[in-house]
Structure 1
Amino acid sequence: MQETDRSPKKYTPMQAKAKAENFCAFQERAQQEVRDKLYSWGLHKNDVEATISQLIEDNFLNEERFARAYARGKFKMKGWGRIKIKQGLKIKQISAPLIRIAMEEIDSQEYFATLESLIHKKESLLREADDFKRKHKLFQYAIGRGYESNLIAEVMDSRSE
């Protein structure tokens, strides 16, 4: 039985730049994602930083555009709350000013409506008879989705009236 080599293929800086352009053109990327990918392709620090600079110059890489797209996508597609989105952006090493700009992508009324819908949908799936436990489970679910506790309490209070 023949054993295959599992080490990733190494690229020249020119080949890596072309691959990175395709990588960035496919979807918005954070600088750190691209940097990690370039290192995995065998490039050294100077080549990586030069490639990143070129990608920014050619507008393949834009941190603000990435942050806005990330916030919009995670909220609209996955129903994440602001807290979870901020954490995700921090993990991607996005700066605090860009995180604030990205949060502007989320409409407050739509945000509240999404939270209400999320809680309503989860409530219909719960089989808990005890009202206190039921509310606790709903609260924990919404917290896990990244919503603020004061908004969750507001939605829960409006449902019990």
Structure 2
Amino acid sequence: MEKKSFTFDEIKQKLVNYCVYQDRCHYEVEQKMKEFLLIDEAKEEIMLYLLQENYLNEERFTRSYIRGKFYIKHWGKAKIRIHLKQKHVPEKLINTCFDEIDERDYEKAIRKIYEDYYSKQQNLQEYQRKSKTIKYLMGRGFEYEKINNIFD
């Protein structure tokens, strides 16, 4: 398939739209830029523009990502952290932004997911139901210590 060629301004506008549609991290924008044959100077100029005009804001991205994955998808912090690291978000920024999750909400989520999943485990011995449920929660990215503290 022939790659359609765009002018610098068209590419810049496409990347603005990409960032406006939803918050993006630097890595996602860099990946998106690979679709267009740009020289490094052009890439840098576009990145700078997106940052200066606040279309691209790594902290805003990280905060909204954390909120969405926890409050909508009900992921635990471990899973969220792994996915943010895959997007090359700095560890320090991830740690700073975890204050988006209220500790009480986090514990409530663990309790609720635990109870919902546990109640569906029929015809098993108690310890099997419990360990299966803990495994399930850990798969959702909740920390073993956290889960244990809640149910001790």
Same fold by TM-score greater than 0.5: yes
Identity of matched residues, %: 34
- Aligned match of 1:97 in 88, 92, 109? 92
Residues of 1 paired with 2:96 and 2:7: CA distance? 36
- The alpha carbon displacement at 1:122 in A equals 0.8
Q: CA deviation at 1:114?
A: 0.6
Instruction: Choose which of 96, 103, 106 in structure 2 pairs with 1:111.
Output: 106
Partner residue in 1 for 2:54: 59
Structure 2 Cα separation of the partners of residues 128 and 68 of structure 1:
41
Instruction: Tell me which amino acid in the other structure corresponds to 1:90.
Output: K
What's the CA shift for 1:58? 0.7
Q: Does 1:29 align with 2:31?
A: no
Cα separation, 1, equivalents of 2:31 and 2:72: 26
1:76 to 71, 75, 81: 71
Q: Offset of 1:128 from its aligned partner?
A: 4.0
- Quickly say closer, same or farther: Cα 1:141–1:8, change in 2 above 3 A: farther
Q: Does residue 42 of structure 1 match 2:30?
A: no
AA of the residue aligned to 2:53: D
1:137-152 superposed matches below 5 A:
137-152=132-147
Change (3 A) 1:31 1:128: farther
TM-score between the two structures when normalised by the length of structure 2: 0.93
Q: Which of the numbers 129, 137, 142 marks the counterpart of 1:134?
A: 129
**Aligned positions, number:** 152
Higher relative contact order (CA 8 A, sep 6+): 2
| Root mean square deviation, CA, Å | 1.4
Q: 5+ unaligned residues in a row in structure 1: which ranges?
A: none
**TM-score where L is the length of structure 1:** 0.89
C-alpha displacement at 1:8, in angstroms? 4.6
Equivalent position to 2:15, from 15, 20, 30:
20
Q: C-alpha distance in 1, partners of 2:27/2:56?
A: 11
SS, match of residue 100 in structure 2: coil
- Unpaired runs of 5+ residues, structure 2, are none
21-30 vs 92-101, which moves further: 92-101
What amino acid sits opposite 1:125 in the alignment?
A: K
